[in-house]
A and B are shown apart, each in its own frame.
Chain A
């Protein structure tokens, strides 16, 4: 899972795609995942970081991350 190079993200969860002019908002955990993606973390690393920090089952988060990935694909901001 890789973000397109030109996508702008902010810590507050604001996302801008200069290629299409679309903007998006995400919740705090979504923003955190995006910033991990920017750092080119792998899925396994993301799962480790998030499940260590938040009160969530690892398997639940894996499912939700998959769901988030398809939202990002639909939003056309993944490479």
Chain B
């Protein structure tokens, strides 16, 4: 006799009329394939957990964003924010699409060069650039975005000593009505610091002021804040033309557009609430086009959009290790990945789907990672089918900031796979091994042995 499909027994109290705040029906609809490739076979072949990136989705996102901006404004350039995801394969997809590179450290800068990005198409941001890196960037004709007066003065000195004339911009911080203000980066607009820096640069023989930059925050939910930022950068651009007869070539509005993830504590899912890129583009381009620049003086608009272009192209596949009940009766499911791999679980209530079909019964549960620490929580409360050991799960929208901020803690970091346009799979970063991890370790001679045997 054929046996019936098994499901573990549960009993649930009925609370008539009470809607669950977290569980939306779509959350527990199974996701059995990523870009037509079965989750089951991906895990079988490449292990669990496993990061999966869809090349198609990255290209779709990029083409969509460029279309939105280019249909509103004549001169637009995206620069891929390396820290958002600097897997070389991912960067190359963006560079193939025409994106420049935006980097914030020497190693990211070298990664961009290694990816074949010409120095002149690398934007070097951030407060931490060594003298050697500044000189190299100047020699490569890169765009150096100056963050503070100490950097401004060292760059002037280095340029004089080495007979260089780097192309520079300043990062401007400002009040856009959004709090907290990100005023620790760059020169302040309202108190005149930015204007002082501009004056100092223009009076220097050795620096060529070509742009103005700001990055007003991340996961910004207000297009209006971008309109304020664009207005203030246009005002500086205008004043520079008036006072110094100098045309600023570009304004760079940084990154910060939200992805459709759901911020922790938000009542509604991000996919229903975050403004679209169109709304940000309208806010920004209306200001610049309306400012009154002559057509030839219209600045190039640079965008360093990160998470909005990659988040939904990344998935994390994983496996249930155990299911148990907590002392208060709640269900707890333990997964083979935690906040060490899924760093963004600290920010988001990630959407998690089962990767196989289930019966109609569901229960509310906590999703825990495998780490031996209390903070290792993937979802504090989620309604899922009756999961058991060995079931697979798919976490959605994990493309941004995980593959760069993940921690090697307790477990080794897993494979990252890319599914290309023809649905072929490519490992783009191999799972770490103990050997890899210990490569840079050195044990002093007197600690090489111990008496335990």
Contacts and interface: CB of A to CB of B under 8 A. Distances in A.
Q: Does A pair with B?
A: yes
Interface of A: 15, 22-30, 33, 53-56, 60-61, 64-65, 67-68, 70-72, 74-75
Contacts of A70: 325, 329
A54 B25 CA distance: 28
Contacts of A56: 6
Most buried by B among A29, A55, A61, A65: A29
B184 interface: no
Most buried by A among B8, B359, B388: B8
B386 interface: yes
Contacts of B388: 60, 64
Nearest to A31: B9
Nearest to A32: B9
Given A24-B14, A27-B386, A71-B325, A64 B9 contact: yes
Given A71-B329, A74-B329, A24 B7 contact: no
B11 interface: yes
- Mostly, the A contact residues are helix
30 contacts: A23-B13, A24-B11, A24-B12, A24-B14, A25-B12, A26-B10, A26-B11, A27-B7, A29-B6, A30-B9, A33-B9, A53-B3, A53-B4, A54-B3, A54-B4, A55-B4, A55-B5, A55-B6, A60-B388, A60-B389, A64-B8, A64-B388, A67-B8, A67-B325, A68-B8, A68-B10, A70-B329, A71-B10, A71-B329, A75-B11
Interface string B1-37: 0011111111111100000000000000000000000
Most buried by A among B5, B7, B10: B10
- Mostly, the B contact residues are loop
A26 B6 contact: no
Contacts of B8: 29, 64, 67-68
Contacts of A33: 9
Most buried by A among B5, B11, B14, B359: B11
Given A70-B325, A71-B329, A30 B5 contact: no
Nearest to B14: A23
Contacts of A27: 7, 9-10, 359, 361, 386
B9 A26 contact: yes
Contact of A29 (B7, B14, B323): B7
Contacts of B325: 67, 70-71
A79 to B, nearest CB: 16
Nearest to B386: A27
A65 B14 contact: no
Contacts of A75: 11, 13
Contacts of B389: 60
Closest CB pairs A-B (n = 7): A30-B9, A56-B6, A55-B3, A64-B8, A54-B6, A68-B9, A26-B11
Nearest to B322: A63
A33 B10 CA distance: 10
A15 B9 CA distance: 14
Contact of B11 (A53, A55, A61, A72): A72
Most buried by A among B6, B324, B386, B388: B6
Contacts of A74: 329
A37 to B, nearest CB: 11
A29 B359 CA distance: 11
A30 B12 CA distance: 10
Contacts of A53: 3-4
A26 B7 CA distance: 11
Contacts of B3: 53-55
Interface in B364-394: 386, 388-389
A5 B450 CA distance: 65
Contacts of B5: 54-55
A27 B362 CA distance: 10
B186 to A, nearest CB: 56
B334 to A, nearest CB: 14
A67 B9 CA distance: 8
Nearest to B3: A55
A55 to B, nearest CB: 4
